[in-house]
Amino acid sequence: MNLDGAWAWRRARTFQDTKLTPGREAKLEGELEAVEAQLKNTVTQLAADRALYHCLDRMTAGQKQALSAYASAMGNAGKGMTALGKRHLKNARSAMREARAAVPAWVMPIKQVAEMIDPEPDAFDVVIVDEASQVGLDGLMLLWLAPRIIVVGDDKQCVPFYTGGKHERFDERLDSLLPHLIDWQRDGLSPKSNLYALLSARFTETIRLTEHFRCMPEIIKWSSAQFYPDNELVPLRQYGADRLRPLEVVHVHEGHCEGRRETLVNRPEAERIVAKLQELAEDEAYAKRSFGVIVLRSGHQTRLLENLIDTRIDPAIRERHNIRVGTAEQFQGDERDVILLSLVIDADNTRALTGQGDGRRFNVAASRARDQMWLFTSVTPDQLRSRDLRHSLLTYMQAPPELQGTSPSLSAVSTDEQCEPFESLFEQRVFCKIKKRGYHVVPQWKVSGKRIDLVVVGEAGRLAVECDGSPYHSTPDQIRDDYERERELRRAGWQFWRVRSSEFALSPEDSLAPLWKRLDALGIRPGVTEEGQGDTGNGWAPVEMDDADLTTDELDAMLDEDASVSLEGA
């Protein structure tokens, strides 16, 4: 008998059993998450306390008095419409001259900047402009206030709405007042210009952010493919067992329009939307979710919906679900858990929308929903032109293209010979075990420039499965990189489960037993994948956009002018 060998084996087995005690890894992960959360809170509080201390330490007695006077005057001014309100605003502006230096960073709308900040050059070190695509030419004064400016925006989102019609006189004034500018520089100063477009044309080095955290992948995919084909967004939002169907379409068969241009309304469509809001408000699945209604056309439809909601939905319900109605422009920078879109049009009002202005409107409207987006339409796809943005959105929502992980997974994977796309035989063997149980599993799942070994996909969620101990997970650097990647993905809502190669080699069945319990707890069942994603033959593709930067209302106005000219000529 080899006593030394038996003793070594017993020690190794005891060590392994200790490390693989059921629940030990989950307990350690819980302790690690608690420590990280405590560390995060501590660092956050420390940063806030140090910033406050720095602010108070540098503040003079005069600045403290001025800051208090400014806050008091602004609180008493209200909207500043009355004589007394205007007097309080005047006092606030006076106090701001001294109070401005008391606070290191001020956050305020541009209107308030113009009213309260004296137009002195380099009054601040840095100016940061958010939603810059919605800032008109009045935002140019911000360049005067600081030597450096950070502009945050998106040229595919709504810009300031201009209703001035033709502006030849404006162009003539620009030519006469700014003759020293080159033509293309002068043309950039039109009434329809916005700060983002103006500056991005002159400073071409742009940092593009592609990670998207707000919407369910199926929701943001339309905007990504339609408006960002060369730089598609990376959806990082994950979900659990409380997931709603991301996309819903309601065809209002009796829908019809009344009025024209800004007075255009589709009452049956509005009635159905309000009825759906009432229905959702009574559904337990929506108990803690917020609602928004976006009208894909400006005008009276918004007022009609607001009136119907005020009349038929109790104020307590409206407050509980934070119900808001508006146009895409009004929702820019906002979001809701559930968004209901109103197309407004009917079969007699289907002029194709292909302009850049309408593209911005649709892009904003279709990216406000976090969990679920409804589309209410009184037309069918065959009643719309194929190049119409409404046709693109409607056909996408009726049968969205497959997203990653919803296509049939590999059927013939060897357990003894490595094959693509796996990185090791260990991954292949774990894949085969999970697949044999009837689960839908995808190898080498791509997310945010990274890869997950295996992802088990179900209707109610996804679970990342990492195979530790393979040649790609052995060195300290690889282990650290794996952990950092996992932390980033956990921030986006991903859940992970790990299996070690040593544990799997000892007993594949025992090593994977906790996985089946974890999948069941997450509502991921064998043979079930994400609902509504199985139609691969719908042939959906983004439509081409025109270069013309006209919105629906501007084009309608042009058509009306053309019609009146024709009538006068006749």
CATH at 431? 3.40.960.10
SS3 106: coil
Q: In terms of domains, do 100 and 111 share one?
A: no
Q: What is the pLDDT of residue 240?
A: 72
pLDDT bucket at 556, cuts 50 / 70 / 90:
low
Mean pLDDT computed over 357-383: 94
SS3 348: coil
pLDDT bucket at 354, cuts 50 / 70 / 90:
confident
- Pick from 72-81, 287-296, 525-534: least confident: 525-534
Q: In terms of domains, do 100 and 110 share one?
A: no
Q: Specify which of 8-22, 381-395, 549-563 reaches the highest per-range mean pLDDT.
A: 381-395
Structure confidence by residue, pLDDT tens digits, 417-437: 888 889 889 999 999 999 999
Record the tokens describing residue 268, joined without a space: 């049956």
Q: In terms of domains, do 196 and 221 share one?
A: no
- pLDDT above 90 for 66: yes
Q: Rounded to whole angstroms, how far apart are CA atoms 483 and 469?
A: 14
Mean pLDDT score across all residues of the chain = 85
Positive or negative, the CA dihedral 349, 358, 251, 337 is: negative
In a domain, 526, yes or no: no
| 109 upstream amide cis, omega within 30 of 0 | no
Record the tokens describing residue 3, joined without a space: 């006593």
Q: In terms of domains, do 100 and 115 share one?
A: no
pLDDT bucket at 168, cuts 50 / 70 / 90:
confident
In a domain, 3, yes or no: no
Q: What is the pLDDT of residue 2?
A: 84
In a domain, 26, yes or no: no
Q: What is the pLDDT of residue 167?
A: 65
- Pick from 135-144, 198-207, 440-449, 470-479: least confident: 470-479
In a domain, 531, yes or no: no
Q: In terms of domains, do 241 and 369 share one?
A: yes
Going from the C-alpha of 343 to that of each of 268, 270, 366, 382, 548, the distances in angstroms are 12, 10, 12, 15, 22
Q: Specify which of 316-320, 518-522, 544-548 reaches the highest per-range mean pLDDT.
A: 316-320
pLDDT bucket at 462, cuts 50 / 70 / 90:
confident
- The last residue of one of the domains, among 172, 207, 242, is 207
Q: In terms of domains, do 447 and 434 share one?
A: yes
Q: In terms of domains, do 439 and 453 share one?
A: yes
- pLDDT above 60 for 274: yes
Q: What is the pLDDT of residue 166?
A: 60
In a domain, 408, yes or no: no
Mean pLDDT computed over 199-226: 88
Q: E strands along 336-460, which residues?
A: 336-342, 369-377, 440-447, 450-458
In a domain, 168, yes or no: yes
- The last residue of one of the domains, among 104, 125, 153, is 104
Cβ-Cβ contacts under 8 Å for 377 (sequence gap 6 or more): 249, 250, 251, 252, 255, 269, 343, 390, 394
- pLDDT above 60 for 554: no
Q: What percent of the chain has pLDDT over 70?
A: 89
The answer to whether 292 and 323 are in contact (CB under 8 A) is: yes
Q: In terms of domains, do 366 and 218 share one?
A: yes
pLDDT bucket at 42, cuts 50 / 70 / 90:
very high
Q: What is the pLDDT of residue 394?
A: 95
Q: Is the pTM of this model over 0.85?
A: no
Q: In terms of domains, do 192 and 92 share one?
A: no
The answer to whether 305 and 268 are in contact (CB under 8 A) is: no
Mean pLDDT computed over 393-406: 78
Q: What is the pLDDT of residue 564?
A: 36
In a domain, 247, yes or no: yes
Q: In terms of domains, do 363 and 443 share one?
A: no
Mean pLDDT computed over 168-195: 81
Determine the structural domain holding residue 510 and report its residue range. Answer: 425-521
- The last residue of one of the domains, among 58, 80, 104, is 104
Q: In terms of domains, do 226 and 374 share one?
A: yes
Q: What is the pLDDT of residue 567?
A: 29
Look at the chain and report how many structural domains it folds into.
4
Q: What is the pLDDT of residue 473?
A: 61
- pLDDT above 60 for 448: yes
Q: In terms of domains, do 228 and 375 share one?
A: yes
In a domain, 410, yes or no: no
Structure confidence by residue, pLDDT tens digits, 85-102: 999 999 999 999 999 988
